[in-house]
Structure formats: C-alpha cells, structure tokens
Amino acid sequence: MGSENLLGLPRRVLITGAASGIGLACAKLFHDSGASVGLIGRSAERLESAAGTLTSPEGGTVVTAAADVADEASVQAAVERIASELGGLDALVLSAGTDGEMGALVPEVTAAGFREVLEVNVLGTFLAVKAALPFLSAAENASITVIGSDSGFVAVPGMLAYNASKGAIVQLVRALAVELYDDHGIRVNSVAPSVVDTPMARRGLGDEVMDAPPFPLQQAEDVAWSVAYLASARARAVNGQSLLSDFGYTGRSSFPA
C-alpha cells in the first residue's frame, strides 16, 4: 500500500491540537478519506472523546497521545509513540495554538502571557516538526501543514502576542520549506484563515459576536479542506506558501477614498 489514497491524500497523518476545532476537523476529514490518524493534545480525556467521534468505516487506526507541544521531551515522546503505532508518518498537521491575553493593550500585556503564546504557537510548531522529521524523511511525498492566521498579515489592537506569533509562522514556514524540501523532499505550507468558529474563537470573541458575526465566518471544516489540499500529492508544486483564507478581506483597501 502506498503513502497516498486515490485522491492523493496521505495515509498516515499526525495532528496536533486535535482535541477540538480545526485540528479535530482535519482529523475527521483525513480519517474519512481512509487515513490512519494520530491525535496530540494537552488533555488525555479530551483526546479520547475526540477519537470517539472518528467513526468512519473507511478510516484506519486512531492513536492518541497527550503532550504539551511547548515541552520538547513531551512532544518528542508523543510523536515517537504515534509514529510507531501508525508504522510511520506521511503528513504532519500543526493546529495546536493559543490566543493569549486577548483584548489586552501594550501596557496590560504581561511578559509571561506574551512568552506563553510564542512558546505554544511558534516554538511548539518547531518542536513538533523536529520530532516528526525522521519519520517524514522516510516517507514519499511527505508534507507539513501549519495552521496560521490572517493575523500574521493584518493586525488589530488587543492581539499583540497572537499577531507576533502568527507573523513568525509565515517566515518559519518559508524557512522550513526551503531547508526540508532541499534536504528531505518534504513540503511545508500554512493555511491562514480569518475568524473560524472554534471553541478558542468563542472564548476570545464571545458567543454573542460569533452567533451574529459582523463579518464572514468560517467553519473548521472549511479550513480542513484547505489543509487536505496542501497535504495532498495534488499540491506537489506548492511549497513555502501561506494560503490566506479570508474571503478576500486582505485585498481590500482600508483608505477612505
């Protein structure tokens, strides 16, 4: 059996931040396509609950491992266990993230809060890539897809650390793409969506805004389809890109004229 199905989707996929939101939507899509999936998240209980929703008869093995992506030993152990149980890895999807002190302006942002966002969103991405690299290097047409954000391209007050972390992801994806493709044949891309209806977004913006948003709102499944394309062999020429998924809002002029 090859590393892809007939649609070019990978057969062995590891997903961080997989207990809910975008990560879980990706897990469902890949599992429905026939893939075996490994789920990483902070809570073993929530991971088991998420795994219980992956019921497609077409799907393969489902493995879970609790880990803190910002802790190198923790994420290393989780990745190694999942890769061992899946018999290797063909794709890595990095969805773990945190939003930090939403609404806090510069005088209110704490060093600890800023550091936590960078450690989870940026360092956590790097550590998962580093841990998965030996397994991805052994696969054909391997790929890494990071969940970024339009906040890596535009900014609003009260999201300082989050904006900084997602901007860093844009350049981290470029740097990883150049090095890993040249040395290992691994493609690295990112999906950068605007606001997505996830538990984290609802915590940050509130149910009142999310239930009647003054802007186009995406669902986690929308992002999962973008991830699936970038992870597929059909996207074999796409590398080092951050795919903005924002209804075209970043293309609009903000000038009043």
DSSP conformation letters of 111-134: HHHHHHHHIIIIIHHHHHHHHHHH
Q: What mean pLDDT value characterizes the chain?
A: 95
Does position 1 have pLDDT exceeding 60, yes or no?
no
Cα–Cα distance list, 11 to 19, 33, 188 (Å): 20, 8, 17
pLDDT, tens digit, for every residue of 33-71?
Answer: 999 999 999 999 999 999 999 999 999 999 999 999 999
Give Cβ neighbours of residue 89 (< 8 Å, ≥ 6 apart): 12, 13, 14, 38, 82, 83, 132, 135, 136, 139, 142
pLDDT of residue 257: 64
Full-model pTM:
0.94
Q: How many CA atoms lie within 13 A of 36 on its CB side?
A: 17
pLDDT of residue 51: 97
pLDDT of residue 204: 85
CA dist 139 and 132 (Å) reads 11
β-strands 91-94, 143-147 pairing: parallel
β-strands 242-245, 187-193 pairing: parallel
**Which active-site residues does the annotation give?**
162
CA dist 137 and 143 (Å) reads 10
Percent of the chain with pLDDT over 70: 98
Cα–Cα distance list, 231 to 85, 208, 235 (Å): 21, 34, 7
pLDDT of residue 256: 77
